[in-house]
Structures are given as structure tokens and as C-alpha cells.
């Protein structure tokens, strides 16, 4: 059943339910009439149908219509002059957006996080080769399917490489300094964003601590990121190094391209796979509990999480 606030029909599609909300649009699960095929429809909200928003959607169609990659949600058709409001029809992907796994008590296993980030990196490498910068890489725009495949979606902020777009757009927590300042962008802006996604999915925190949007902007432009070890212990140095380099404020100090990022992330993944150390030992625990675990581990390297789980922890450890 459609939600009370959702339309019952858009064009030749019957609306099943609303499944997402963006800065300027709503996303619905819909059925194409006669074919009964499931699709996702993204339509500009009535309050966001002015010319700048219409231009952004038209730009999305122009850039994304040519993209075909197994880790990118496909755009099937566009209807920019519909009376109810401009909308695009996309492949419906049954899965979970990764913002469901960006908090301390819902974090995914490290190997799953790396697999997802690797897949998205290949998708972003592909679009870079097509002359496109996504400009809004964040957990909400990555869908994890039950079979482990990841899909990158929402190209509403995408721009051609080497341009800045007509307005600064994207999500502040994942913006590179040059994107925040409205400079022309290349793939290094998306590398920064994916580094911030990797950071968030591993520790459940943003790369900076701020109480307001103003403080966040100051932090992005001027202050180093909060060291990930401050929030998550036990990660291999090789993986921490990948994150640190991807998040360099000076784009010339970041990875020069996706090939370098994918190479180093793959090497870090290999270190993790070959290690007999439980890299998920600290996942989901508070820092005070991680400190207790760390002290225990320093005296007993055979210790494993199976022998020290939340169910057996004394209250004094305060997870």
C-alpha cells in the first residue's frame, strides 16, 4: 500500500511505497502498468521544481544515461516534462542502504566493508573514465544486496570532470575541501568521499567532531581528521594508511587516481585475509571496552571474541 503522502500513480507506474528521500526528491517503489515490473522512481518534490533543480535532474540524465556497470544502479528512462513533476525511472535494487550500518552498534564486519568499498571504487573508477564526478558518495547512496553485491546510486549531484557545477552540492560530512570551496573537481574528490565512507563504516563516526554546520566547514577546511584509532582499535596499519591518504586535505597528497587507491586497498585486504588476528574484535564496543580488550590482548594473543562477547561481559566494562 502507498503511504498517505505518496501519490498512487506517476505516469504509467503504480506506486507501491516510498522508499527514500533526498535533498530535493522522493524515491518510490513502483510497478510498471501491464508489465508489472518493479522499478524505482525518483521525482522532484513540489517544493523543489524550480529551474535550478530541474537543471540538476536534466544533468543527471545526460551524464548517467550512458553508464553501464554492474555496481551502478541503471537509469531506465526520464520524464522531465511530466505535469506532476520531473522524474526518472531507475533499476529497482532490493537491498539495504549502508546508512543502516554507519553507527557503532550496527557496523558490518571489516571484510564486508572492504568488499563493498572495493566494489564502489571500481564503479567510481569506471565513471571517472567516462568523465564524470559523482560528488555525493555517502553510505545512503550505496546499496548492499543480499548476495553481497554493492550498487552505487543517486547521481543527482554528478558533474563533468574538470567542472565545479552551477552550485556547491553534496553531503557536507563527505565533501573534500576543494568541493566545499566550489573548485573544479576530478576523481580525487570522490576518492576523498569514499575514504570518508570507509572511515564511517569502520568506526561509526565522522572524520571530524563538530556541533554545527559552521564548525564542520571549518574542520573540513582547516583541521586534520580525527585519527580513526581514537574510535576503533585493532585495524591493520595498512588499512589505516589507505584511509589517511584518501582523506588528505591537499588533493595533490591524495591518491592520484582510482588505480592507486584500489591497489593499496587490495593489499590491505590481503593482509587482513592472511592474518589469524580477529580484526572485528573491537567492532561495536565503546572505547572504554576496547581499551579493556586491548590490555587483555596484549597479555593473551590467543584470546578471541568468541570467548569474550557482550553476553559474558561484566557491567563494569560498560559497552
Residue 2 DSSP code:
-
Report which of 216, 231, 133, 223 is spatially closest to residue 172, judged by C-alpha positions: 216
Is 70 marked as a binding-site residue? no
Query: What dihedral angle (degrees, nearest 10) is formed by the CA atoms of 66, 71, 77, 83?
Result: -120
Q: Grid coordinates representing 47?
A: 517544493
Does an H or E element contain 77, and which? strand 75-79
> Which among 81, 87, 144 is positioned nearest to 118, based on CA atoms?
144
- Bridge partners of residue 133, in order along the sequence: 159
Selected catalytic residue, list 26, 82, 99, 136:
136
Q: What number of other Cβ atoms are within 10 A of residue 172's Cβ?
A: 16
Q: Give the other-Cβ count within 10 Å of 251's Cβ.
A: 20
User: What is the separation, in whole angstroms, between the first and last Cα of the chain?
Assistant: 40
Reply yes or no on whether 82 is catalytic: no
Best CA proximity match to 40, nearest among 170, 141, 120, 136: 141
Cβ neighbors of 302 (< 8 A, separation 6 or more) are: none
CA pair distance 273, 309, nearest whole angstrom: 22
| Residues involved in catalysis | 136
Mark the binding-site residues for ATP, compressed into ranges.
42
Mark the binding-site residues, compressed into ranges.
42
Amino acid at each position: 500500500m502507498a503511504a498517505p503522502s505518496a501519490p498512487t500513480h506517476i505516469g504509467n507506474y503504480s506506486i507501491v511505497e516510498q522508499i527514500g528521500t533526498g535533498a530535493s526528491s522522493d524515491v518510490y517503489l513502483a510497478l510498471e502498468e501491464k508489465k508489472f515490473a518493479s522499478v524505482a522512481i525518483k521525482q522532484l518534490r513540489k517544493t523543489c521544481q524550480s529551474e535550478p533543480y530541474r537543471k540538476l535532474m536534466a544533468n543527471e540524465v545526460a551524464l548517467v544515461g550512458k553508464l553501464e556497470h554492474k555496481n551502478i544502479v541503471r537509469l531506465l528512462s526520464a520524464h522531465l516534462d511530466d505535469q506532476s513533476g520531473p522524474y526518472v525511472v531507475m533499476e529497482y535494487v532490493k537491498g539495504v542502504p549502508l546508512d543502516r550500518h554507519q553507527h557503532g552498534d550496527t557496523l558490518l564486519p571489516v571484510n564486508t566493508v572492504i568488499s563493498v568499498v572495493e566494489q564502489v571504487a571500481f564503479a567510481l573508477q569506471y565513471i571517472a573514465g567516462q568523465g564524470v564526478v559523482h560528488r555525493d558518495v555517502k553510505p545512503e547512496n550505496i546499496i548492499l544486496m543480499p548476495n553481497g553485491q554493492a550498487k552505487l546510486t543517486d547521481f543527482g549531484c554528478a558533474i563533468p570532470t574538470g567542472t565545479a557545477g552551477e552550485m556547491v552540492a553534496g553531503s557536507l560530512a563527505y565533501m573534500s575541501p576543494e568541493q566545499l570551496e566550489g573548485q573544479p573537481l576530478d576523481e580525487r574528490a570522490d576518492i576523498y568521499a569514499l575514504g570518508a565512507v570507509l572511515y564511517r563504516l569502520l568506526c561509526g563516526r565522522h572524520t571530524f567532531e563538530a556541533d554545527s554546520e559552521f564548525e564542520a566547514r571549518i574542520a573540513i577546511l582547516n583541521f586534520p581528521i580525527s585519527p580513526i584509532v581514537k574510535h576503533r582499535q585493532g585495524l591493520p596499519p595498512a588499512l589505516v594508511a589507505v584511509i589517511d591518504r584518501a582523506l588528505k586535505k591537499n588533493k595533490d597528497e591524495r591518491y592520484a587516481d582510482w588505480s592507486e587507491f584500489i591497489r593499496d586497498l587490495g593489499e590491505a585486504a590481503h593482509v587482513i585475509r592472511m592474518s589469524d588476528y580477529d580484526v572485528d574484535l573491537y567492532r561495536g564496543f565503546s572505547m572504554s571496552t576496547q581499551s579493556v580488550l586491548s590490555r587483555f590482548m596484549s597479555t593473551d594473543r590467543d584470546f578471541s571474541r568468541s570467548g569474550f562477547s557482550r553476553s559474558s561481559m561484566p557491567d563494569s566494562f560498560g559497552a
